Amino acid sequence: MTVKLAVTGAAGRMGKMLIEAIAAAEGVTLTAAVVRPGSSLVGADAGELAGIGKNGVRLVGDLHEVVEDFDVLIDFTTPKATLENVTICADAHKKIVVGTTGFDEAQKSTLLAAQDATALCFSANYATGVNLVFKLLAEAAKTLGDDYDVEVYEAHHRHKVDAPSGTALRMGEVLAGALERDLNQVAVYGREGQTGARARDTIGFATVRGGDVVGDHTVMFMAEGERVEITHKASSRMAFARGAVRAAQWLQAKKTGMFDMQDVLGLR
């Protein structure tokens, strides 16, 4: 059965990449594409906008207009817009893949509440390689333990609005869980001035923004005499888009509940 997909933020960098990824994938088809209300692009052909040629899907400015036209929505927009779209999907019992980052705790709670009405996949990163790295980080942390200092470095393009990245924060959560630490208590986000000696249980984060970096993440485990580094570098957003499409196909078989890319890939 072909899974019918919709994309919000269709005029953005990630939206266009998702449209391209859907066109290249088997077993799925794009049936709806949404842009901001009032956009001058409303009515344009989604495939033509994405640079893959006309596909007959016209851009709309309101998800309500097309809510009956798809099985699963893929949303990489903003926290506010995503929560509005999740509400619409939950009311219509439509599934949704959420790739948006930067949610605060209250927004995450709202997101979680929707799982009683529909199925959601919410992941900090949809690249297959990154999700493998999450698994490796947990194993490395358990093996190396408290004898190693742990630091997380991430770099992204100049347009990214949240920091640290959702992927870096997820890495911190994985590390803290494996080391039996409370991330809220041990996280250090940047350093400046006379900070004193490093506390043993610290999990540090360093953030870089500039240029067109798609996404670099490195976790360093450092001890006297040696250093272990686990790195993932994304050179194209297509890695995220392909993963999101894969997640949408997998999610179609679920009725309700909250899942992530670890579930999709069977890495639990």
The catalytic residues are 156, 160
* HEC assignment per residue over 129-155: HHHHHHHHHHHHHHHHHHHCEEEEEEE
Apex 105 CA angle, 193 and 139, nearest 5: 75
Contacts of 174 (CB under 8 A, 6+ apart): 134, 137, 138, 141
- Please give the order of strands across the beta sheet that includes 72-75: 59-60, 28-34, 3-8, 72-75, 95-98, 119-122, 257-259
* Contact status, residue 261 vs residue 245, Cβ threshold 8 Å: no
Distance in angstroms (rounded) separating the CA atoms of residues 138 and 258: 21
